[in-house]
A and B are shown apart, each in its own frame.
Chain A
């Protein structure tokens, strides 16, 4: 029987929890609005359409607990609608401004997409969750969870309560929204350390993904080099990310999204047009930001850019999809020649790449799913499907510390720019543990106070803050957020040490960080 290539397309949708209702508009909330408008909604619209066209596709998506919370937040929903209304108004201005110019058609397309995305959002009850549930019910999606605030877990291994809290709250948030327990767990940044598998297994998790290089450097000699799922010591099964195939897209220097015919992300009218025209659509006071209205192609490395041509870009997408499938088939042939039949390719990507950073990415996914579904040597699968498939065996390995970050370990989250944060976060975890032991069963106000403290600790642990510091992008914001959460935790700790509750502060803090409403601070109790 001919060998078939099993493809697990695994998307990870995650954003840090950003919600600043104390401001009428807040810059970093745009991360969420941009992703929703440019990536999540277009992806679901495309998947629904494929479903209606009876395309036999499967993929797996992880929605992080912080993102799920934002997607279900009533205030953020309203603010998203305001964001869309504002951009629709800008689109109408653009269509008028570009009268008689070749770029007008593109402005019309942007305007149409904005209107349709907003309509889709409103028609689905101002939510995308029901569509996700429906696609899962139809058998197209495997949904799974990740750590509560996407903490990079290897740097917290010394604190089992913190690891456990990230896992428990991640599972509970998923269950609350989707109504069942997930089988899979996305390891934030593919961060794994020996022993983490046992924690995940003890909470009913059956699989996770790991970094590709972890297989070659395992304690045992791997026979399948990552083309079979890996059974870890606890019995949890790990799916190694295929670096070879994913780098065709993911490489920031030579990946498909770098092609000159694709749309240039960095040329945006938010930066290019005069202030008196664009002022209303950027941030106060006259802070230029991306608006999504972009008319240039990447062209080359110089600043002289050609106008973006949709048709030309779509032709390139088609070629790139063919090339992508060709590389999968070629790798499959080579591997089957070396006695590894029915290999599993785990193609893990951040969802926000598709549509947001890589404008043509959703079309790439669409064509990939259609063409793969028609390709006899390719089977679109999910990790849980693989586990139930008798044709796909596993191999047992002891995997060492690893991540998908630069260098393959923890360097990115522990460099000279962010290393200082851990002594403060670790201290907060230790103190949270202390509070649970000193005040084990508090109800009412003190219970709420302690619950808020546990939220603040979890939010401080987010991998986004050290990553932003490493990447030197929105560093001040990341640092302020971290200090805010640790400072808030210290308010609770100091007050509880005096056996008092600052009620006014508590009410404000609960409003400010309205995440994980059902959290029980006792998850940090080391005796449990």
Chain B
């Protein structure tokens, strides 16, 4: 499944993802090369996820009538939805510890002002964690309506806003509500993980299946990789 809109990401983000996903020779690729490599990677991933193994049953309780959708085209009351809404506003949705999703709309009057002034439009991402504050301003087109937001910190809060410049000053057109990011003890105290052998046995007992496979979530992967590293080092010692 393609979780990210690959071509909406910065070159640096593409490089980071390519590295994480183990794309061979990622550091020698230019932006187009990275986009192509990641598209290929995620498509392969999607094909694997759609493996039609006969044992993949009861994914969902509802019977799959996928082949016959064409026969239910005419339900009453179905209308087209508006392409856009009249107010300038922006919303931020939490997807997972690494990604959020922002979408927005710009009112006709704001759009007109922006076009007339020729000022740039920015998506400003604020991530705050106690005293640390990171602000990223990404230039966007007036036609853009959404963005996958990479969460550079897992902890703290995140807000996004639509901003422009007026007389050299930043002017906010709309801002989202604040999203609380993950606040995890073990992410804050990785050194603690090594000291909790019995505790991790309890944890693993509930989140691992009979074959020893652990429930797949990115945060658990991160915590357990630290734990495994500690166990391996102790074993070597």
Contacts and interface: CB of A to CB of B under 8 A. Distances in A.
State whether these chains interact: yes
Interface of A: 15, 20, 22, 27-28, 30-31, 34-35, 154-155, 158, 193-194, 212-213, 215-227, 240, 242-244, 247-248, 251-254, 257-258, 264-266, 283, 285, 287-290, 298, 300-302, 327, 331, 334-335, 338, 340, 350, 352-353, 356-358, 398, 400-401, 406-411, 414-416, 419, 422-424, 426-427, 464, 467-468, 471-477, 480-481, 483-484, 486-488, 490, 509, 512
A285 B146 CA distance: 41
Contacts of A357: 57-58, 61
Contacts of B61: 15, 31, 35, 350, 352-353, 356-357
Nearest to A345: B206
B66 A334 contact: no
Nearest to A422: B93
B31 interface: no
A339 to B, nearest CB: 8
Given A251-B209, A358-B58, A216 B203 contact: yes
A487 B65 contact: no
Nearest to B145: A423
Contacts of A265: 57-58
Interface stretch (B18-26, B71-79, B167-175): B71-79
B75 A484 contact: yes
Interface string B94-113: 11110001010100000000
B63 A31 contact: yes
Given A252-B58, A401-B180, A416-B5, 16 more contacts: A213-B219, A217-B184, A217-B217, A221-B199, A227-B206, A266-B54, A289-B63, A289-B65, A302-B54, A334-B205, A415-B1, A426-B91, A427-B85, A477-B69, A483-B81, A512-B77
Nearest to B64: A473
A213 B217 contact: yes
Contact of A216 (B60, B186, B211, B218): B186
A286 to B, nearest CB: 10
B228 interface: no
A242 B95 CA distance: 23
B53 interface: yes
Interface of B: 1-3, 5, 53-66, 68-73, 75-82, 85, 91, 93-97, 101, 103, 105, 145-146, 176-177, 180, 182-187, 192, 196, 198-199, 201-203, 205-211, 215-220, 223
B140 to A, nearest CB: 16
B92 to A, nearest CB: 8
Nearest to A39: B61
A408 B206 contact: no
Contacts, number: 252
Contacts of B217: 213, 217, 407-409
19 contacts: A193-B94, A215-B203, A219-B183, A220-B185, A221-B196, A224-B202, A225-B206, A253-B56, A266-B57, A335-B202, A398-B183, A406-B216, A408-B220, A409-B95, A410-B93, A416-B3, A419-B146, A476-B73, A477-B69
Nearest to B51: A253
Contact of A467 (B60, B97, B146, B211): B60
A226 B91 contact: no
Contacts of B101: 414, 419
Interface centre among A248, A251, A407 (most CB of B within 10 A): A407
A240, A283, A287, A476: residue with the most chain B Cβ atoms closer than 10 Å: A476
B192 A216 contact: no
Contacts of B185: 218-221
Contact of A474 (B64, B93, B207, B223): B64
Nearest to A409: B96
A270 to B, nearest CB: 10
A474 B205 contact: no
Given A357-B57, A423-B103, A486-B81, A27 B205 contact: no
Contacts of A426: 91
Contacts of B208: 243-244
A464 B60 CA distance: 10
A275 to B, nearest CB: 14
Contacts of A27: 65, 68, 71-72
B79 A487 contact: yes
A226 B206 contact: yes
Contacts of A301: 53-55
Given A213-B220, A217-B223, A247 B210 contact: yes
A223 B200 CA distance: 10
A470 to B, nearest CB: 8
Contacts of B62: 15, 31, 464, 468, 473-474
A265 B57 CA distance: 8
B81 A353 contact: no
A105 B1 CA distance: 44
Contacts of A338: 198, 201-202
Nearest to B76: A22
Contacts of A31: 61-63
B151 to A, nearest CB: 11
A422 B91 contact: yes
Which 4 A-B residue pairs are closest in the complex by CB-CB distance?
A408-B217, A352-B61, A487-B79, A225-B202
Contact of A158 (B70, B81, B91, B211): B91
B58 A257 contact: yes
Contacts of B80: 483
